[in-house]
Structure 1
Amino acid sequence: MSANSPSSPAGQGAERHLPGHIAAALARAGGSGDSAGQEWEGRDLSGEGNPLHNFDNDNGLIDENLRAAFDGLIAGSGGEQQVHAALAGARVYIAVVAQLADGGMGEHGFAEDKEADMALVTLNAPDGRKALPVFSSVDNLQAWHPEARPVAVYAPRAALSAVSEDAQMLVLDPGADFTFVLRRPGMWALARQQEWIPSYLSEDLAAVVAEQASDEEALASIQIAPGRGVGTRTAAGASVAGGGSGPELRLEFTFRPGTDEAAARECVSRIHARLSANQDFAENVDSLEVALKAGPSADPGTRA
């Protein structure tokens, strides 16, 4: 029996809460203190090392470490984890555009002119989720949206902005020769400035999956692997083993000989429900697909 199920967000149907580190950082944003809780009042921000001047000499080009990580991913010598590590220290650009605010009545009863606010640009992914576009260079941003203004930020700050906008993904360089999607778990880790291990490479998640499946007698084995949606392509059509929007994780179920299709699907349903309720799994898996297999001596009549 061999079948692929449609992809779905991991933990779909259950309310997903922000990790505490991110919620705390968002709560501090725009307050009277910095991200370390130190008050701004009375501090001298004019000297060397002031973070406001980090990009004074910015040339608008891609960060060299990020370029190397992209090159490695495209060449097959690196992976998504290396791109994430490069982003942790990279300057990127977010796109903002002018947006007219509503006018009002002045004190003498005359209509006042509308004012222009700057709005952050967001996208809708094919599955309907919100995504924040970010850009590795000014040229890539302007080629994508000529009227957008580039705002230089460190990538972890862009990830935090994405979370505050309820976005589920960062889309790096949409419309460029190579577009890289950082899915929700990687985006959250970047916002927290923590190392990220993709779910399909995580030994801890493999142990969680094995534990949740340990009492299923019909199941011979269960393995994790990259989902079909992890890979993507360059604009020229070259296959790249990373940077796709998902499905991210593939669960491969192998059943004992003689297991019929109904019993196999009931087993999958039980395990999926347990994993969806597991906090570690729900936080670290963005989207999921399932493959069902039968043992080598199974009755051919059970194949689907």
Structure 2
Amino acid sequence: MTEYPPSVTEHLEPASARRPAVPGRPAADEVEDSGGRPWRDRVLTSTGFDDDEGAEDRTLVAALTTPTTDAALVAVVAGSRLLVAVVAEPGAVEVGPEGLAHDASVDMALVVLTAADGTRALPAFTSVQALAAWDATARPVPVTAARAAQAAVTEGCESIVLDVGSARETALRPSMVWALAQQRDWRPAHDDPFVARSVERAVASEQDITGHGVEDGEPAAHGILRVVLTLRPGLTGEEVREIATRVGERLAADGELRARVDGLAFVLR
């Protein structure tokens, strides 16, 4: 796995600037992978885009560059081909008779962005040109949006960042990544019937809750679900905290709910 600091927080250097050359290192096509297979004339498994020339998808680019709703953006992404970046990484290093180090094996690694707090994101691109502008040494691999999202989930990435480092850089939040990975439509949490039912189940046993609802939290359109609880008058502060804690724990235990909500806030009335 090759990790970069994310461009949303700091300038990204190309991968070549982060991998200093080793004296005597052979070219990639002169070495073998960790299984002993030579890289020369290697044929990679098809991803279903054998005739793809790496051109940008105009519909996707338009969705990234013009105002639209989050739901519309995710719908366009879901039907698009994306390019993920892979780079050659040295495996074991051996020292030859002349004392020069060289790679005994080379592996292909998916590029992942890592923030200072450890948060991870998968970069994906609309075109070969967009990828090359970010890192000319990375190799593009065309995949469906679903496969890119599934890779992101597998690699522990919370988000997918499209066209990193460009004017149209756009981050897909965790709930969007999960929707793409599960190949289902994405909806804002406050407008998602599944979320509404989950909240209803979480409050059903609380006799001191006389009403509830869900709203878009703040800042708006950032995936925050605001759960509004109307409580019976006369409760003590401790009783209110206990109610909020129980409801919050039930919601947190719902894995599917967590995949559909990017953040949670309570309003008690």
TM-score computed with the length of structure 1 as normaliser:
0.62
Query: Of 221, 240, 248, which residue of structure 2 is paired with 1:264?
Result: 240
State the 4+ residue runs in structure 1 displaced beyond 6 angstroms.
Answer: 108-112
Name the amino acid aligned to 2:108: M
Q: Specify the alignment match of 2:265 in structure 1.
A: 290
Instruction: Give the superposition deviation at 1:51.
Output: 2.6
* Offset, 1:176: 2.6
Q: How many residues align?
A: 223
CA deviation digits over 1:28-85, x for unaligned, max 9?
Answer: xxxxxxxxxxxxxxxxxxxxxx934240x332x2x2222343355x2xxx32222221
Q: Which amino acid aligns with 1:208?
A: S
CA 1:129 to 1:64, structure 2 compared with 1: closer, same or farther past 3 Å?
A: same
Structure 2 partner of 1:51: 48
Identity, % of aligned positions: 34
CA contact (8 A) 2:216 2:226 kept: yes
Q: Quick one: structure 1 residues 175 and 65, their matched pair in 2 at CA, closer, same or farther if it must change by over 3 Å?
A: same
Hey, what does 1:113 align to over in structure 2?
A: 102
Cα deviation, 1:14-35, whole Å, max 9, x if unaligned, reads xxxxxxxxxxxxxxxxxxxxxx
What one-letter code is carried by the residue in structure 1 that aligns with 2:186? W
CA 1:290–1:53: 2 relative to 1, 3 Å: same
Residue 102 of structure 2 aligns to a residue whose secondary structure is coil
5 Å matches for 1:94-105?
94-104=84-94
Q: Tell me the CA shift for residue 187 of structure 1.
A: 1.8
Structural mapping, 1:56-75, within 5 Å: 57-59=53-55, 61=56, 63-71=57-65, 74=67
Offset of residue 125 of structure 1: 4.4
What SS class does the counterpart of residue 140 from structure 2 fall into?
strand
Matched-pair contact (CA < 8 Å) for 1:224–1:249: yes
- Structure 1: which 5+ runs fail to align? 1-49, 232-240, 295-304
Q: In 1, Cα distance between the equivalents of 2:253 and 2:190?
A: 19
What's the CA shift for 1:224?
1.9
Distance 2:49 2:258 in 1: 36
Return the offset for 1:293.
3.3
**1:185-234 CA distance string (max 9 Å, x none):** 332332233323232220221122022212323334322223436x6xxx
User: Is the CA contact (8 Å cut-off) linking 1:124 and 1:131 kept in structure 2?
Assistant: yes
Q: Contact 1:92/1:155 (CA < 8 Å) preserved in 2? A: yes
Contact 2:119–2:157 at 8 Å: present in 1 too?
Answer: yes
- 2:61 aligns to what SS in structure 1? helix
Question: Which of 121, 124, 128 is equivalent to 1:131?
Answer: 121
Change in 2 beyond 3 A, CA 1:160/1:279: closer
Q: CA deviation at 1:271?
A: 0.4
CA contact (8 A) 2:83 2:126 kept: yes
C-alpha contact (below 8 Å) 1:87/1:156 kept by paired residues: no
Q: Deviations over 1:222-257 (max 9, x none)?
A: 22223436x6xxxxxxxxx4xx5x5x3222333344
The CA distance in 1 between the partners of 2:89 and 2:255, in whole Å, is 39
Asked if the contact 2:209–2:231 (Cα under 8 Å) also holds between the matched residues in 1, the reply is yes
Unaligned runs of 5+ in 2: 1-46
**CA spacing shift, 1:58–1:293, aligned 2, 3 Å:** same
Paired residues for 1:240-251 under 5 Å: 241=221, 244=222, 248-251=224-227
Distance of aligned partners of 1:214 and 1:148 in 2 relative to their CA distance in 1, 3 Å threshold: same
Which whole-Å CA distance do the structure 2 matches of 1:127 and 1:221 have between them?
38
Higher relative contact order by CA 8 Å / sep ≥ 6: 1 or 2? Answer: 1
Give the counterpart of 2:70 among 49, 58, 80: 80
TM-score (norm 2): 0.69
Corresponding letter in the other structure for 1:79: T
Aligned-pair CA distance for 1:112:
7.0
Q: 1:207 to 1:102 in 2, by over 3 A?
A: same
Give the direction of change, closer, same or farther, for the CA distance of 1:204–1:165 in structure 2 (3 Å limit): closer
Amino acid in the other structure paired with 1:192: Q
